[in-house]
Amino acid sequence: MATINDNYLKLKAGYLFPEISRRVRVWSEDNPDAAPRLIRCGIGDVTEPLPLAAIEALKNATDELGERETFRGYGPEQGYEWLREAIAQHEYRDRGLFIDADEIFISDGSKCDTANILDIFGDNNTIAVSDPVYPVYVDTNVMAGHTGEADESGAYEGLIYLPCTRENGFVAPLPSQKVDLIYLCFPNNPTGAVATKEQLKTWVDYALQNDAIILFDAAYSDYIRDPELPRSIYEIEGARDCAIEFRSFSKSGGFTGVRCALTVVPQSLQGTSKTGQKVAIHPLWLRRSTTKFNGVSYPIQRAAEALYSPQGRAQVAELVEHYMENARILREAAQNAGLETFGGLHAPYIWVGAPDGLSSWDVFDLMLREANVVITPGSGFGSKGEGFFRISAFNSRENAVEVARRIGNVKW
Ligand SMILES: *Cc1c(COP(=O)(O)O)cnc(C)c1O
């Protein structure tokens, strides 16, 4: 008898995006004339073509694979040295941060890495997540058996939810009890919030004092405009001893369909074994990678490397600028409509307060019906997301301008 991983049965069936699709489908069937007007500002996926530097690198690398002299088979599981060097240089050393190329692991995505990282941690950790939260952090802990059942609000027994609210600027407060693993994401999806150095320092200090480890998701670091704001957790003293950082080319280089990301595991980071011994984390993640992964394809790694060439960097900056200008247009439209907005300044997401008396899903239905625009209901990211909705700036300029116009025409 083949039994299954029963933890999967605890996962909530009515997940956010299927429900959005269902409502959009029903509306489209009922309104076939209006359906072509539909604009999606829901899912966090990029829309603009890849930077030219990446395209050229992809083509050249593909040609290399077609010649005996330059053909390559399996690459290093951790990623090619030249890519890890380029990352260490441009993302870290150039900013005065000492991250070595051998502390960097190349992967096919940060979603995968933030999920797979649980492989190397014990099953008895107390785990803290923010509320609202990127659902991957929660669901992967459910799958790993780290939680009980979900309650009515969708919160799982055994997880510590840190409420992110207007009052705390959507930056997770320290927990009142001791936790061992903490997921932080800045700039944040879904709220668009960004943490200051002082705020991150309170977390680093907490982790160091409690022998906890921070799992820092910096997928949106390139969207930070203000040089005073930390783009990396390693800008905080002591973070090398308590944090793993996840970065992705998905949102910076438009690589959501290309697939390339990286995880930084400092050599000095340690966890605790069952017998109470301090054990380095880096060799565990290396072992996990070499056993369960065979690396990212050669052309893709060349494409990622090309994002650090002078042309590549200029093209990435242009791409980010495009989305951030959309964010400005959408944020101002929401503000002009009298809505309360957060985020959108250092992130491609605008987090908007629903008008009094409307739930997140009420706003979803209103926007769909009156503006023919799909947004994401905040309640789908956690109970503290109720009363908010997320507008994504990942769109063409034409669509962003049109959505802004329609937001102005909705009777709020
Ligand atoms: C988009 C996103 C990522 C990136 O995931 P990839 O697998 O690298 O595409 C990671 N974390 C968050 C919160 C995201 O929104």
198 — pLDDT class (breaks 50, 70, 90): very high
360 lines ligand 1 (CB under 6 A): no
The pLDDT value given to residue 17: 85
Query: Does a structural domain hold residue 224?
Result: yes
Helix (H) or strand (E) holding 104: strand 104-107
| Residue ranges making up the domain that contains 30 | 13-49+312-409
Q: Whose CA is nearest to atom 12 of ligand 1?
A: 219
- If you average pLDDT over every residue of the chain, what do you get? 97
Q: Whose CA is nearest to atom 11 of ligand 1?
A: 219
Question: How do residues 323-363 score in pLDDT, each as one tens digit?
Answer: 999 999 999 999 999 999 999 999 999 999 999 999 999 99
- What residue's CA is closest to ligand 1, atom 4? 110
The amino acid sitting at 377 is: P
The Å distance, Cα 2 to ligand 1 centre, comes to 33
Tens digit of each residue's pLDDT (9 = 90 or more) over 363-392: 999 999 999 999 999 999 999 999 999 999
Whether 256 lines ligand 1, by a CB cut-off of 6 Å, is yes
Which residues, in sequence order, are CB contacts of 103 under 8 Å at separation 6+?
Answer: 88, 264, 265, 266, 267, 282
| Residue 134 alpha carbon to ligand 1 centre in Å | 9
Q: How confident is the model over 58-74, as pLDDT tens digits?
A: 999 999 999 999 999 99
Could you list the beta-strand ranges (E) of 211-368: 213-217, 243-248, 261-264, 270-272, 278-280, 341-343, 349-353
Confidence of residue 135 (pLDDT cuts 50, 70, 90): very high
Pocket test for ligand 1, best of 107, 110, 188, 259 (most atoms within 8 A of CB): 110
| pLDDT at residue number 12 | 82
Phi, psi of 309 (to 5 degrees): -70, 160
CA–centroid distance, residue 164 to ligand 1 (Å): 20
3-state SS assignment for residue 224 = coil
Q: Is the pLDDT of residue 81 over 70?
A: yes
CB burial readout 167-206, b (16+ within 10 A) else e: eeebbbeebeeebbbbbbbbbbbbbbbbbeeebbbebbeb
Does 255 lie in the same domain as 385? no
For the Cβ of 84 lying below 6 angstroms from any atom of ligand 1, the answer is no
Residue 54 CA, distance from chain mean position? 22
Res. 14: pLDDT tops 60 = no
The yes-or-no verdict on residue 15 having pLDDT over 80 is: no
Contact between residue 142 and residue 10 where contact means Cβ atoms under 8 Å apart: yes
Residue 1 within a domain: no
- CB distance 111 to ligand 1 below 6 Å: yes
Q: Quote the DSSP letter at residue 150.
A: B
Whether 13 has a pLDDT exceeding 70, the answer reads no
Spatial separation of the C-alpha atoms in residues 72 and 299, rounded to whole Å: 10
In the chain, the percentage of residues whose pLDDT exceeds 90 is 96
Ligand 1 contact, 251 CB (< 6 A): yes
At 410 the pLDDT is: 95
Which of 259, 283, 308 is where one domain is finished? 308
**Residue at 8 is within a domain:** no
Type of residue at 210: N
Domain boundary among 292, 308, 324: 308
CB 149 within 8 A of CB 157: yes
Cα separation, 213 vs 218, whole angstroms: 15
Provide the token pair at 81.
């040295």
Q: What is the mean pLDDT of residues 228-251?
A: 98
Task: Please name the residue ranges forming H helices in 265-309.
Answer: 282-292, 298-306
Single-letter amino acid code for the residue at 292 = K
Q: Contact 99/88 with Cβ under 8 angstroms?
A: yes
Q: How far is the CA of 73 from the centre of ligand 1 (A)?
A: 28
- Decide: helix, strand or coil at residue 55: helix
Q: Tell me which of 12-26, 171-185, 340-354 is least confident.
A: 12-26
Residue type, 32: P
Q: Render pLDDT for 262-305 as a digit per residue (tens, 0 to 9).
A: 999 999 999 999 999 999 999 999 999 999 999 999 999 999 99
Question: 13-40: buried (b, 16+ CB within 10 Å) or exposed (e) per residue?
Answer: eeebeeebeebbeebeeeeeeeeeeebb
Q: Span 206-217, mean pLDDT?
A: 98
Please say which residue of 287, 308, 329 terminates a domain.
308
> Residue 61 Cα, ligand 1 centroid: separation in angstroms?
25
Residue 250 alpha carbon to ligand 1 centre in Å: 7
Q: Helix 298-306 to helix 52-65 angle, to the nearest 10 degrees?
A: 150
Helix or strand or coil: residue 342? Answer: strand
Residue 262 sits at φ, ψ, to 5 deg, of -150, 155
Give yes or no: residues 262 and 137 share one domain: yes
The answer to whether residue 6 sits within a structural domain is no
Q: Are residues 65 and 110 in the same domain?
A: yes
Per cent of the chain over pLDDT 70 is 99
Q: Report whether residue 137 contacts ligand 1, using a CB cutoff of 6 Å.
A: no
Instruction: Give the three-class secondary structure for 160.
Output: strand
Question: 267 with 344, same domain?
Answer: no
Q: For residue 181, give the H/E element and its range.
A: strand 181-185
Q: How far apart are the C-alpha atoms of 69 and 62, rounded to whole Å?
A: 13
Give per-residue pLDDT as tens, 89-133: 999 999 999 999 999 999 999 999 999 999 999 999 999 999 999
Question: Is the residue at 112 inside a domain?
Answer: yes
CATH code of residue 123: 3.40.640.10
**Do 255 and 231 have their domain in common?**
yes
Q: Is the CB of 376 under 6 A from ligand 1?
A: no
The answer to whether residues 88 and 32 belong to one domain is: no
Let me know if residue 404 belongs to a domain. yes
Q: What is the 3-state secondary structure (H, E, C) of 369-406?
A: HHHCEECEEHHHHCHHHCCEEEEECCCCHHHHHHHHHH
**Nearest atom of ligand 1 to the alpha carbon of 256:** 9
The mean per-residue pLDDT over the stretch 309-331 comes to 98
Residue 42 has pLDDT above 90, yes or no: no
Quickly tell me which residue has 């441009």 as its tokens. Answer: 90
